């Protein structure tokens, strides 16, 4: 609460300077009658400015207000008695006090709102940290029983001669594998929120993009390597590769045999733009704003085996943003989708202090078509 704050603990010299300034103005009201109420207004205006430096507690504020009212009222009364001021000037004392009190009320309301906003923000940060810790802990704990269960399932699958048992065990093994992939993705997603886990060095994103394309080339699609430029960025090559693979996997899930999946890397100003284009089913416009959310699917009716967990694009966004980049999407239903990752380029290529072997070199056959 505002009342628990110090007063006047910080910037004490400002308060002392104001007291001296007010005393001089009070003296001017007595010694220089020609100034009339100018020193009086200086005192009240300076008090308002002083309060703007720090919202005081209720009791000190009330004390200062009463002292200023009594003091300025007394000096105006002295001027009225001596004939220097008219009687109606005394009404300015309660008027200025009311204006100052109104300002205090608004300032305290604003301060309370800011404290409430800060409290909610801190609470949200704590909740996010607890969520991340829980995901990490739960994922680590789940990996062991999943591995044990999968090992036993594979052992039974190899030793059984009963086709029915073999079929049931195959289902169990398949589900355990899916669960293990989910756990791995949850761990990765939780890890991307910790910038200390990124091992940044200058890398050529063209080489990473070409490598990802070659790894998926066995999948029956029409694979195309588009225009590519050398683009050196500060990045964690392994994490960036995960993001590229996730976008290619997403394209595969939303395309059929014969559809085109194209990957390209371009430079524009100080940005490396990595694009992933497919000629698949596309994404409805109303779903574009939420596809990067966790567990979100553009088509809830898709098969659970072909539709993924709804974590891939969330992982992509987390990895890209951890590298200081952005991810964009354009899509039309029935025509396809294009994802574009923008990453900041290393200024003037590789930094002078970076050893040459720290750069991932471009494949000499990078401009060949992959198929």
pLDDT tens, position by position, 325-346: 999 999 999 899 999 999 999 8
How many Cα atoms within 13 Å fall on the side-chain side of residue 350? 16
* Cα 304 to Cα 208: distance, rounded to the nearest angstrom: 29
pLDDT at residue 52 greater than cutoff 80: no
Model confidence at 306, pLDDT cuts 50, 70, 90, reads very low
Secondary structure (3-state) at 5: coil
Q: For residues 183 and 142, is the Cβ–Cβ distance under 8 A?
A: yes
Secondary structure (3-state) at 82: coil
* Cα 343 to Cα 253: distance, rounded to the nearest angstrom: 25
User: Which residues have a Cβ under 8 Å from the Cβ of 144 and sit 6 or more positions away?
Assistant: none
pLDDT of residue 144: 79
Which of the 8 DSSP states describes residue 57?
P
Q: What is the mean pLDDT of residues 257-278?
A: 93
Domain ranges of the chain: 1-193, 200-358
Model confidence at 303, pLDDT cuts 50, 70, 90, reads very low
Q: What is the mean pLDDT of residues 93-102?
A: 88
pLDDT of residue 329: 94
- Which span out of 31-45, 149-163, 312-326, 331-345 was modeled with the highest average pLDDT? 331-345
Model confidence at 273, pLDDT cuts 50, 70, 90, reads very high
Model confidence at 225, pLDDT cuts 50, 70, 90, reads very high
Best CA proximity match to 267, nearest among 305, 240, 228:
228
* HEC string for 337-357: EEEEEEEEECCCCCCCCCCHH
Model confidence at 34, pLDDT cuts 50, 70, 90, reads confident
- Of the candidate ranges 4-8, 61-65, 291-295, the one whose mean pLDDT is the lowest: 4-8
274 backbone dihedrals φ, ψ, rounded to 5°: -105, 120
Q: For residues 223 and 254, is the Cβ–Cβ distance under 8 A?
A: no
pLDDT of residue 175: 85
Best CA proximity match to 346, nearest among 327, 359, 357:
359
Give the model confidence (pLDDT) of 201-216 as tens digits.
Answer: 999 999 999 999 998 9
pLDDT at residue 250 greater than cutoff 50: yes
- Rg, C-alpha atoms of the chain: 35
Give the model confidence (pLDDT) of 102-158 as tens digits.
Answer: 888 888 888 888 889 889 988 888 887 787 777 767 767 777 788 888 888 888 988
CATH class, range 200-358: alpha beta
Q: What is the mean pLDDT of residues 27-36?
A: 80
Residues forming beta bridges with residue 265, ordered by sequence position: 228, 274
How confident is the prediction for the chain on average, in pLDDT? 80
Model confidence at 195, pLDDT cuts 50, 70, 90, reads low
């Amino acid at each position: 609460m505002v009342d628990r704050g110090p007063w006047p603990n910080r910037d004490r010299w400002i308060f002392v300077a104001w007291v001296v300034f007010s005393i001089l103005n009070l003296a001017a009201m007595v010694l220089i009658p020609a100034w009339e109420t100018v020193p009086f207004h200086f005192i009240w205006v300076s008090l308002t400015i002083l309060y703007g430096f720090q919202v005081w507690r209720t009791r000190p504020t009330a004390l200062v207000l009463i002292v200023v009212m009594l003091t300025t009222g007394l000096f105006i009364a002295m001027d009225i008695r001596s004939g220097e001021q008219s009687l109606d000037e005394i009404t300015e004392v309660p008027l200025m006090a009311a204006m100052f009190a109104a300002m205090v009320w608004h300032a305290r309301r604003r301060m309370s709102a800011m404290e409430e906003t800060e409290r909610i923000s801190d609470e949200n940060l704590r909740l996010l940290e607890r969520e991340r810790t829980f995901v990490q802990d739960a994922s680590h704990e789940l990996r062991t029983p999943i591995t044990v269960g999968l090992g036993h399932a594979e052992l039974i699958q190899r030793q059984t001669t009963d086709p029915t048992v073999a079929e049931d065990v195959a289902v169990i093994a398949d589900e355990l594998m899916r669960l293990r992939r989910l756990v791995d993705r949850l761990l990765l997603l939780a890890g991307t929120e910790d910038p200390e886990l990124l091992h940044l060095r200058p890398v050529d994103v063209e080489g990473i993009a070409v490598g990802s394309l070659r790894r998926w080339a066995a999948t029956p699609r029409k694979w195309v390597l588009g225009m590519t430029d050398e683009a050196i960025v500060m990045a964690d090559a392994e994490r960036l590769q995960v993001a590229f693979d996730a976008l290619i996997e997403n394209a595969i899930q939303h395309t059929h045999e014969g559809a085109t999946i194209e990957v390209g890397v371009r430079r524009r100003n100080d940005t490396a733009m990595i694009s992933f284009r497919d000629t698949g089913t596309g994404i409805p416009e109303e779903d574009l704003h939420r596809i990067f959310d966790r567990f979100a699917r553009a088509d809830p009716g898709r098969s659970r085996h072909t539709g993924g967990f709804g974590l891939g694009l969330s992982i992509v966004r987390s990895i890209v943003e951890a590298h200081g980049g952005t991810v964009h999407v354009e899509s039309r239903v029935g025509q396809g989708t294009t994802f574009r990752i923008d990453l900041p380029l290393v200024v003037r290529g590789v930094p002078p202090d970076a050893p040459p072997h720290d750069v991932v070199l471009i494949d000499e056959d990078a401009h060949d078509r992959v198929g």
